[in-house]
Chain A
Amino acid sequence: MKKVYMDYAATTPVKKEVLDEMMPYYTTHFGNPSSIHSFGRETRKAVDQARDRIAKTLGTKSDEIFFTGGGTESDNWAIKGVAYALKNKGNHIITTKVEHHAVLHTCQHLEKEGFEVTYLEVDEYGLINLEDLKKAIKDETILITIMYANNEIGTVQPIKEIGKIAKDNKIIFHSDAVQAYGSFPINVDELGLDLVSISAHKIYGPKGIGALYARRGTKIFPMIHGGAQERRRRAGTENIAGIVGFGKAAELANENIEAHNKKIITLRDQLINTLMEKIPYSKLNGHPTKRLPGNANISFEFIEGEALLLSLDMVGIAGSSGSACTSGSLDPSHVLMAIGLSHEIAHGSLRLTVGDFTTTEEVDYVIEQLPKIVDRLRQMSPLYEGVKGGNNNV
């Protein structure tokens, strides 16, 4: 059976040139970089090189890049690290309602510890209002943490403007850029970012490795105590092969971002436009233009997302959904709720994310299969009775 992967926002395959660079670090170059001998020096050099490569992609210096176990750890560290370091200065954190759970649940945890968190509302496209942000700031505000681009609906926040507001108010600005990294050129100085979370497995690198950019002088507590690795900020023997792979993947992802995006956006728009045209009662979620190059998120009325995913899987298509039934929780995705979708529309959401290995043929295949699947499920749905044949998109 044909297999079409359209879940690049969940994770990506490791590119061959990335894996090729990683492999020797599992076998022949296995030394502990903390060791003084030649084995250790060899891997130390590899870690340094990877750090340099990543620093370059963010327009910053190597000593501001700290390797972590992934995006979630970076988010946890950035938020708790600042909160604990600055708790004598203030206890207020500003974030949004559409953050990844790595940020939301960390903030909720801090609330239990006595911190106060403002969750900014978003508009129907998932964008925050800069005036709301300004109004939320108070003397006790120590951190603003707002994602660069949303993992579900792809909406890109006005990071540069947020950075300016943070700077004007002398507040540390963290951004979860896990989805955006590799899709947009990120210069931390131009954007006014103090802390940035990134991850390798979203950019064709290995899983289990990420990084936190921390501007020099940013007060942040270490979360993992132990040895002197990562300049005493993140202890533990380095995941050398992972770090090497991340460095290579970062370099590849940031080469020619524009030309690369052009190709991905063409595929995405072909998918969105044709599906919206072919399937009545469908709605695009997220901003029409301010969105991740590879993200298509569409709600199909009268049907439920998990049934849709199962049906797609049976014809070899891999996607994802914000339906409650796919998460094990009872409510649909908090992001779809925050943009004001009703429960039934949110339950029928489908996220398809295209990437470097997506072909026009694959997009065509999805366009051929999906309308049939939606129709089959609608024919079974009691909600569809009496609206058949309608053709007005909501």
Chain B
Amino acid sequence: MYSDKVMDHFTNPRNVGEINNADAVGQVGNAKCGDIMKMYLKIEDDVIVDVRFKTFGCGSAIATSSMATELIKGKTVKEALNLTNKAVAEALDGLPPVKMHCSVLAEQAVKAAIYEYAKENDLYFEELEGFDPDDDHDHHDDIQEEY
């Protein structure tokens, strides 16, 4: 049911762990739904120089977290904010429809971390307009209409 790429990122996840002196930490999801993603960012001169994650969740939750970290590492903060869940899913050669919400969570985890970073450093990003990291809305529902 999963692509080889998903299985690869699940088996050998990239950038797992924590960053002790992270410039930003974001966490999304909840245990009730069965998935939580925590994203740690190290940012220097507006560039994400290091990124780590921790995820409680299914195989695709772990794989999407891993892929999201790969996609934003070395990118500018603004570039990272433009990461979409579709891009994460596509980079993994697709996800089963019922697992698309995991890619949404990955996108939100990146945004949540940068949201914290912006708050700390008094920065404004239009991409974060209307974004609420504590929004406990059911991310599963977002995707229902897509299949």
Number of interface residues of B (CB under 8 A): 27
Chain B proximity mask over A299-322: 1 for CB below 8 Å, otherwise 0: 000111111001000100000000
Which of B31-39, B84-92, B116-124 lines the interface with chain A? B31-39
Of B2, B10, B54, B58, the contact of A385 (CB 8 Å cutoff): B54
Query: How many A-B contacts if CB must be within 8 Å?
Result: 71
A330-B33, A343-B34 known; A306 vs B56 contact (CB < 8 Å): no
Of B16, B32, B37, the contact of A343 (CB 8 Å cutoff): B32
Give the shortest distance, in Å, between A270 (CB) and chain B (any CB). Answer: 28
Distance of A304 Cα from B99 Cα, bound (Å): 14
Secondary structure at the B interface, as helix, strand, loop or mixed, is mixed
Which of A147-155, A242-250, A284-292, A375-383 lines the interface with chain B? A375-383
Chain B proximity mask over A335-355: 1 for CB below 8 Å, otherwise 0: 000000011100100000000
Decide if B32 touches A380 in the complex (CB within 8 Å).
no
* Supplied contacts A323-B58, A382-B55, 17 more A-B pairs, CB within 8 Å: A303-B56, A304-B35, A304-B57, A304-B58, A307-B59, A324-B34, A328-B98, A330-B33, A330-B140, A344-B31, A344-B56, A347-B31, A347-B34, A379-B16, A382-B27, A382-B54, A382-B56
Residues of A whose CB lies within 8 Å of any CB of B are 302-307, 310, 314, 323-326, 328, 330, 332, 342-344, 347, 379-383, 385
Which 7 pairs across A and B sit closest by C-beta, in order of nearness? A344-B31, A325-B58, A306-B58, A382-B38, A382-B54, A343-B32, A381-B56
Q: List 16 A-B contacts (CB under 8 A).
A: A302-B56, A304-B58, A314-B11, A323-B58, A325-B34, A325-B58, A326-B58, A330-B33, A332-B34, A343-B34, A344-B34, A347-B31, A380-B54, A382-B54, A383-B36, A385-B18
